[in-house]
Structure 1
Amino acid sequence: MFTRKTIRFLKDLQANNNRDWFQENKQRYEDEVRTPALAFVEAMEPALHKVSPYINASSKKVGGSLMRVYRDTRFSKDKTPYKTNIGIHFRHARARDVHAPGYYVHIEPGDIFFGAGIWQPDSPTLLAVRTLIDEHPKEWKTVKQKVCTRGGLELQGSSLKRAPKGFDPEHSLIDDLKRKDFIAITNLPQNAIIDKDFTKTVAKLVKTSAPLMKFICDANDLMF
Structure 2
Amino acid sequence: MFTHFEPALMKFLRDLQNNNNRDWFNDHKQQYEDNVRTPALAFIEQMDQWIRLISPHYEASPKKVGGSLMRVYRDVRFSKDKSPYKTNVGIQFRHEVGKDVHAPGFYVHIAPDEIFLAVGTWHPDRDSLAAIRDHIVIKPGPYLDAVEHQPFTEFYEMAGNKLTRPPKGYDKEHQLIEEIKRKDFIAICPLNENDLYQPDFCKMVASRFGRAQPLQKFICEALGLRF
* Short-chain TM bin: over 0.9
Rounded Cα–Cα distance in structure 2 between residues aligned with 1:108 and 1:126: 28
Q: CA deviation at 1:146?
A: 2.7
Q: Is the contact made by 1:103 and 1:115 (CA closer than 8 Å) also made in structure 2? A: yes
Work out which of the residue numbers 146, 149, 156 in structure 2 matches 1:146.
149
Aligned residue in 1 for 2:219? 216
Q: 1:27 aligns with which of 27, 30, 54?
A: 30
Counterpart amino acid of residue 78 in structure 2: F
The equivalent residue for 2:183 is 180
Cα deviation for residue 150 of structure 1 reads: 4.4
Please tell me the residue identity of whatever aligns with 1:180.
Answer: K
1:133-162 Cα shifts (integer Å, max 9, x gaps): 001111111111237764420000000010
Aligned: 1:44 with 2:40 = no
Amino acid at match of 1:169: K
CA distance in 2: counterparts of 1:120 and 1:51, whole angstroms:
23
2:69 aligned with 1:66, yes or no? yes
Moved more, 59-68 or 145-154: 145-154
**Larger mean Cα displacement after TM superposition, 121-130 or 189-198:** 189-198
4+ residue runs over 3 A deviation = 147-151
The aligned length equals 224
Residue 83 of structure 2: aligned partner: 80
The code of the aligned residue for 1:75 comes to F
Q: Which position in structure 1 is the counterpart of 2:158?
A: 155
Q: Could you tell me which residue of structure 2 aligns to residue 3 of structure 1?
A: 6
Q: CA RMSD in A?
A: 1.1
Unpaired segments of 5 or more residues in structure 2?
none
Q: Distance in 2 between matches of 1:17 and 1:173?
A: 43
3-state SS of 1:191 partner: helix
Is the partner of 1:184 in helix, strand or coil?
strand
* C-alpha distance in 2 between matches for 1:72 and 1:114: 23
Q: Percent identity?
A: 53
Change (3 A) 1:13 1:152: same
Superposition TM-score, scaled by structure 2 size: 0.96
Alpha-carbon contact 1:119-1:183 (below 8 Å) kept? yes
Check whether the contact 1:148–1:155 (CA below 8 A) recurs between aligned residues.
no
User: What is the CA–CA distance in structure 1 between the aligned matches of 2:124 and 2:38, rounded to whole Å?
Assistant: 30
**Post-superposition shift, 1:125?**
0.3
1:197 CA displacement: 1.5
Q: Paired residue for 1:110?
A: 113
